Structure 1
Amino acid sequence: MTIVSRRGALAAAAGLAAAVPAAAQQSWTPPEPAQRCPGPWGAADRRGAMNRQTPDTVKRTAGLIRSGEIVELGQVLEQGMPLQSTRQFHIHLKPLAMNPQANRRGSNEEMVIAEMGQVGTQFDMFPHQTIGNHTYNCVEVDRIATRNGFTEMGVHTVGNIFTRGVLLDIAALKGVPMLEAGYEISVADVEAALRRQDVALAEADAVLFHTGWGALWGKENARYLNSNPGIGVAAAEFVIRRGPILMGADVATVEVSPSKTMPAASLPIHQIALVVNGVHLLENLKLDELAAKRRSEFVLNVQPLKLKGATGSTVAPTAIL
């Protein structure tokens, strides 16, 4: 039985693991509402995997801090960054007149025009993706969508994420600086990386994948966006069964794009994570510095913008070592 069943979702909440049949790895299809809803936290739940962050997990996470060094994991928002499809980012400086007082106080401002939920290093909230007309926990999108944002599950409801981060360096595992375009990270890759790095996944983790693809950011934008390595369906389900809060990567989609094993599917892991299991995605991370430090576990701190009703947020995550 795969993660998409109600029984599998309950197992995920408990952090239990089960084998995924080989056929399921190749032929995932969106489960029917009766199979996926209600989620493990009940029909009224709107927080999904964030339910796993508790005062106890925060205290345990704080105990991971050793040196106090901070490593920034967010890309710089700028005109020359990769932008998917019709997304835009423009910053317009607004110099203001000198104030008339004797102290000659001058000031400047700027106006930013952008999809602030879906540019740069970005955090995905549940209504960003759907299965048909349903988002997480089978909530009908038409019922919560308004001209001014979503009335439920806007990114402003997430709050601060302070949890154990685990970086799986798949590029280093394969002995390359960068995985090739379209490389699908498998369960075997995840297991091998865990053994190599002597680390195990635990409930409430943030699991990040280093592919090396971030080296293209702002330099070869067309190549960065055209196709990328990332996790496959089986690997995503394997990780989700361990009960993470989020999954992230140094690519635009977290998941492999396009999928070689599921070429007819459109970003199925977005549905598996956000819609079926309530697990957030963190895209376009800057992971080169963290990977170079060979630190497998750390404190991850992420604070989405308080964009009421938004589908996501540009973020500037940090790893605290």
Structure 2
Amino acid sequence: MTQHRENAAANPRWKHRPEGSNWGDFGPDDQRGRLNLLTPERVKRAVAEVHEGLTFCLSLPLDYPGGNLLNPRRHPPVLRPTLRNGRPNLNYRMADDNPYLTDVMNDDAVILHTQYSTQWDALCHVGQLFDADGDGVPEPRYYNGYRPGIDVVGPSDPSDAGAVGLVPYKATSEARALGIENMATSCVQGRGVMVDLHAHVGDAHTYIGYDAFMRILDTDRVQVEPGDMLCLHTGFAEMVLGMNRTPDPERLEHSCAVLDGRDERLLQWVSDSQVAVIAADNYAVEGLPAAAGFGCCAMAPLHELCLFKIGVHLGELWHFTPLARWLRQHGRSRFLLTAPPLRLPGAVGSPATPVATV
């Protein structure tokens, strides 16, 4: 409690922090959350897990899953060539401009929804209504008390939102705090620990609560320690990959394991475990919609705990199946994981191309 009061006294953004949160514990202006646990000693511990020198790409192609069935607001990337002298800059023969030049040039641009495919959530991706200033009225807040309109700014006019053309334009939203660049500069390298949910429940759409999760850890002899990067294999991304960009809505909605975000004991384990990040190969790590709760509550309770309360970044739609199979065949669960996002200032999420080394 003394630590709590000292943190609050030093922080102008909040007088009260959410129950079970770590606001202020890494400093009054912290924007990295539990990435702070990826210390040099823990990175060296992760490097010691490399025995074979084999690497695994943990990203889907960024135009998967295809379409927008998983989220109607997110669409596949659109690649287009840039313009050179009024013509598409693709297979562009410089000799057309200067007969003495032999170069053939390509250059392109992309419209990219940052959370369409394999991705990280920034800590500003999800906030909550919470009475941080003690006036009895809940107001919007993000991790460590950062505020909408001041620290996370954006437009009110819908014409300034959504996908835009490839003409120069001024950005209309920006996370001045908690943007994904804070994750990028931490480098996101540490020891990955695989929990192979798919090996136990297969493709069945199963909400995994605390009891089931603990049974799987015990059965597979998986140990999770502070600073580890928790990875959950459900088989969902492998299923999506097999759909070849034409996903089946029935299978998307009713396949593979998800964490039960309404299970308070599971949430407490996530908090107590001191994992640095959580990544899964499914759409949202937890089940959406979450199981029915009582009274007013968060739509995505695991997101509330991780992004809002304790600063744990969430990775989604990673491609874990080849790695998970290899680890199981070799009786292992640990590996070196390197997974920085794009260093894109102000973004609330980012594509990722994570690499596992065993």
Give the TM-score of the pair, scaled to structure 2: 0.74
Q: How many residues align?
A: 287
Distance in 2 (CA, whole Å) between partners of 1:154 and 1:269 is: 20
Asked if residue 162 in structure 1 is aligned to residue 189 in structure 2, the reply is: yes
Structure 2 residues without counterparts, runs of 5 or longer? 6-15, 82-89, 130-139, 154-171
Work out the percentage of aligned pairs sharing the same amino acid: 25
Offset at residue 144 of structure 1 (A):
0.9
Q: Counterpart amino acid of 1:85? A: P
Q: How does 1:223-262 map to 2 (within 5 A)?
A: 223=250, 225-226=252-253, 229-233=257-261, 234-262=265-293
Q: Deviations over 1:44-99 (max 9, x none)?
A: 22211011011111111111101010011111012762541221223234215211
Q: Indicate the SS of the match to 1:308.
A: coil
How has the CA–CA distance of structure 1 residues 200 and 78 changed in structure 2, closer, same or farther, with 3 Å as cutoff? same
Q: 1:124, 1:197 → 2: CA distance?
A: 28
For 2:337, give the aligned amino acid.
L
- Aligned-pair Cα RMSD in Å: 2.3
Unaligned runs of 5+ in 1: 1-5, 8-31
Bigger shift: 125-134 or 165-174?
A: 165-174
Shift of 1:213: 1.7
Aligned to 1:17: none
Deviation at 1:186, TM superposition (A): 1.4
Offset of residue 279 of structure 1: 0.4
> Pick from 85, 104, 107: which aligns with 1:106?
104
Q: Which amino acid aligns with 1:153?
A: L
The alpha carbon displacement at 1:33 in A equals 3.4
Aligned to 1:271: 304
Residue aligned with 2:107, SS: strand
Deviations along 1:233-263, one digit per CA (max 9) or x if unpaired, are: 3324313311011111111100012223539
The residue correspondences of 1:55-204 to structure 2 (distance < 5 A) are 55-78=40-63, 81=66, 83=68, 84-94=71-81, 95-100=90-95, 102=100, 104-116=102-114, 118-132=115-129, 133-146=140-153, 147-158=172-183, 159=185, 160-174=187-201, 176=202, 178-180=203-205, 183-204=206-227
- Among 232, 238, 245, the alignment partner of 1:209 is 232
Matched, 1:289 2:317: no
Q: Given the superposition, is the C-alpha separation of residues 171 and 34 from structure 1 closer, same or farther in structure 2, using an over 3 Å criterion? A: closer
Residues in 2 aligned to 1:72 and 1:113: alpha-carbon distance in whole angstroms: 23
Distance 1:313 1:320, change over 3 A: same
Structure-1 separation of matches of 2:354 and 2:67: 18
C-alpha distance in 1 between matches for 2:342 and 2:248:
25
Report the AA paired with residue 208 of structure 1.
Answer: C
Q: What is the Cα deviation at residue 208 of structure 1?
A: 1.2
Residue correspondence of structure 1 range 23-42 to structure 2 within 5 A: 33=17, 35=19, 36=21, 38-42=23-27
- 1:299 and 2:336 aligned: yes
Structure with the greater alpha carbon radius of gyration: 2
Aligned to 2:163: none
Quickly say closer, same or farther: Cα 1:224–1:206, change in 2 above 3 A. Answer: farther
Query: Does the 8 Å CA contact 2:31/2:182 hold for their aligned counterparts?
Result: no
Q: CA deviation at 1:163?
A: 0.8
TM, length-normalised to structure 1: 0.82
Deviates more, 1:194-203 or 1:128-137: 194-203
The 4+ residue runs of structure 1 with deviation greater than 4 A are none
Structure 2 counterpart of 1:90, one-letter code: P
State the distance in 2 between where 1:123 and 1:275 align.
15
Distance 1:34 1:195 in 2: 32
Q: CA deviation at 1:265?
A: 4.7
Task: Report the AA paired with residue 278 of structure 2.
Answer: M
